[in-house]
């Protein structure tokens, strides 16, 4: 396995786990939902991020491609929140940074895994 692939996998997993923790803390600890509808939406928003978890741990190369598309939802949320919500701007900017890091590292993982498959 290439050294670059291992490096980018670590960055991907680290940014993914930090994004999960950050969203949980932001949505359920710092500013918990005030009613059942927002609690349900916040739960779905967090659970949606758990979809690639098993495949990321199994190092499936295809997960990097489709989870990159999934992370665009969180990127859009971070951009909108950082622009519209001044009280929560710090949390939104952290989410924005983590989504950018995840997207870049997942793209690099997919690229390196394709190179490893072509050399076999």
Instruction: Give the C-alpha separation, 15 to 2, whole Å.
Output: 20
> What are all long-range contacts of 77-83, with beta carbons under 8 Å and residues at least 24 apart?
77/45
Instruction: Write out the chain's pLDDT in tens, 120 residues.
Output: 588 888 999 999 999 999 999 999 998 999 888 889 888 988 999 999 999 999 988 888 889 989 989 999 999 999 999 999 999 999 999 999 999 999 999 999 988 888 777 766
Instruction: Give the C-alpha separation, 58 to 37, whole Å.
Output: 34
Instruction: Give the C-alpha separation, 80 to 1, whole Å.
Output: 39
Residues 10/114, Cβ–Cβ less than 8 Å: no
pLDDT at 1: 59
pLDDT at 114: 82
pTM of the model: 0.90
pLDDT at 98: 97
Instruction: Give the C-alpha separation, 7 to 97, whole Å.
Output: 19
Q: Which residues, other chains included, contact 99 with Cβ-Cβ below 8 Å and sequence gap of 6+? A: 19, 71, 72, 74, 75, 78
């Amino acid at each position: 396995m290439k050294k670059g692939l291992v490096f980018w996998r670590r960055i991907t997993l680290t940014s993914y786990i930090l994004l999960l923790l950050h969203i949980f803390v932001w949505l359920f600890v710092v500013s918990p939902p005030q009613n059942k509808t927002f609690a349900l939406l916040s739960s779905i928003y967090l659970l949606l991020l758990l979809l690639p978890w098993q495949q990321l741990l199994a190092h499936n190369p295809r997960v990097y491609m489709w989870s990159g598309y999934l992370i665009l939802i969180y990127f859009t949320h971070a951009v909108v929140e950082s622009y519209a919500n001044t009280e929560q701007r710090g949390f939104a900017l952290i989410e924005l940074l983590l989504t950018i890091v995840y997207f870049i590292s997942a793209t690099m993982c997919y690229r390196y895994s394709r190179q490893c498959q072509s050399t076999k």
